[in-house]
């Protein structure tokens, strides 16, 4: 007895995989059906239209995307702790779901309005993070700078290597997949070490 029928789950898995590989426009309903080992009519039976199906997949992806960093604040004490958690949760997430960054970036780009509603209902609260960082800076625990800049930098360092993986793999690692993989795995630590000098010793 499951909330989602097995078929529904199978469809969502297939759809997620095809949509992130080819995008909304490039995906074919028939291909999704094939990957799910199911009749194409079932897609419409469960989700009515391609757009509705995509909307669902996108929403679920987007909701995994943002909350990480907010959560890591509420659970953390020191700045060091916060940075470790923020970076760590992103890197872990993208190691497990490498399709997420480019999927979100691509689709937000071709239809920016799509996230408007998700941001509102999703409770995205960047303000909390900005204020947290500003606090720590004023307390002299973090190098003073534009907190938005720091936030963007942390996100850039955490996300870009995953979004740009195919490029990085070919242009910087000469196509050596294994090297790239361990490089990405280590990111959790290297990004933190890279940012560590921003933390001011408490004494």
Partner DNA sequence: AATAAGGTTAACCATTTGGTTAATTCCTTT
Partner DNA sequence: AAAGGAATTAACCAAATGGTTAACCTTATT
Give me the residues that bind its own copies (CB under 8 A), please.
21-26, 66, 102, 104-106, 108-110, 112, 115-116, 119, 124, 126, 130, 145-146, 148-149, 151-153, 155-157, 159-161, 163-164, 166-168, 170-174, 183, 190, 194, 197
Q: From the list DNA, its own copies, none, which binds 30 (C-beta under 5 to 8 Å, kind-based)?
A: DNA
Q: Which does 49 bind (CB under 5 to 8 A by kind): DNA, its own copies, none?
A: DNA
Single out the segment in contact with DNA by CB under 7 A; choices: 45-53, 108-116, 127-135, 193-201. 45-53
Contact between residue 188 and residue 93 where contact means Cβ atoms under 8 Å apart: no
Which residue do the tokens 């898995």 mark? Answer: 13
Is 38 an interacting residue with respect to DNA (CB under 7 A)? yes
CB 13, min distance to its own copies, A: 19
Residue with structure tokens 């630590």?
A: 189
Q: How many angstroms separate the CA atoms of 85 and 188, rounded? A: 9
Could you tell me if 100 and 65 are in contact, meaning their C-beta atoms sit under 8 angstroms apart?
A: yes
As a whole number of Å, the end-to-end CA separation of the chain is 57
Among DNA, its own copies, none, the one that 7 touches (CB under a kind-dependent 5 to 8 A) is DNA
For residue 74, the partner it binds in DNA, its own copies, none, with Cβ less than 5 to 8 A by kind, is: none
Q: 63-67: list long-range contacts, CB under 8 Å, 24+ apart.
A: 63/118, 63/122, 64/93, 64/97, 64/100, 65/100, 65/104, 66/122, 66/124, 67/122
Binding site for DNA (CB under 7 A): 5, 7, 27-30, 38-42, 44-45, 48-51
């Amino acid at each position: 007895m499951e909330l989602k029928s097995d078929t529904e789950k199978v469809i969502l898995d297939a759809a997620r995989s095809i949509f992130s590989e080819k995008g909304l426009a490039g995906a074919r309903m028939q291909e999704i059906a094939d990957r799910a080992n199911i009749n194409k009519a079932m897609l419409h039976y469960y989700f009515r239209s391609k757009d509705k199906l995509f909307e669902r997949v996108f929403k679920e992806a987007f909701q995994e995307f943002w909350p990480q960093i907010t959560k890591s604040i509420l659970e953390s004490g020191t700045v060091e702790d916060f940075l470790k958690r923020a970076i760590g949760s992103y890197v872990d997430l993208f190691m497990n779901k490498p399709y997420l960054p480019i999927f979100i970036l691509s689709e937000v780009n071709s239809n920016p309005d799509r996230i408007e509603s998700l941001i509102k209902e999703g409770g995205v609260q960047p303000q909390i993070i900005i204020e947290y960082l500003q606090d720590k800076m004023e307390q002299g625990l973090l190098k003073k700078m534009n907190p938005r800049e720091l936030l963007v930098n942390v996100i850039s360092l955490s996300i870009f290597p995953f979004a740009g993986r195919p490029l990085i793999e070919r242009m910087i690692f000469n196509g050596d997949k294994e090297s790239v993989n361990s490089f990405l795995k280590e990111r959790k630590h290297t990004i933190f070490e890279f940012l560590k000098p921003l933390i001011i010793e408490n004494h």
